[in-house]
Amino acid sequence: MAFELVHPNKHNILLKFVNTKIAGNATSKLIVRDLTHTWALVKGILEENYAVRRTLDFYARGMFSARQEKGESVASWGSRIDEMQTELREAARRVVDLRKSSEP
């Protein structure tokens, strides 16, 4: 999010700052890959190694079993369902993209 808020000509400075704050095993992952000259590359490596990827079933089960909570407004419940639907769609897109990239 910070990269979206900072003017593009300041991205290099912000990236240097972010790289100094990355510690532990994540530092090793970045050094081994030696691809830390853009945020997109750093973010990709970190997501590849540390992002939580849940199954489609996880998102579908959550969405289809969701019920309006006691005291929850219809608008709030609808917003929660919309968010779950977005997560399900994004997970499905990741599966499709993964399958496409593994095709011969």
Q: Is the pLDDT of residue 79 over 90?
A: yes
Contacts 24+ apart (CB under 8 A), 39-42: 39/3, 39/11, 39/14, 39/15, 42/15, 42/18
63 and 98: one domain? yes
Instruction: Give residue 75's pLDDT band: very low, low, confident or very high (50, 70, 90).
Output: very high
pTM of the model: 0.47
75 and 98: one domain? yes
The whole-angstrom separation of Cα 12 and Cα 63 is 40
Full residue range of the structural domain in which residue 31 is found: 2-50
Instruction: Give residue 53's pLDDT band: very low, low, confident or very high (50, 70, 90).
Output: low
Q: Is the pLDDT of residue 45 over 90?
A: no
Average pLDDT of span 37-54: 75
Number of independent structural domains in the chain: 2
Among 30, 50, 70, identify where a domain stops: 50
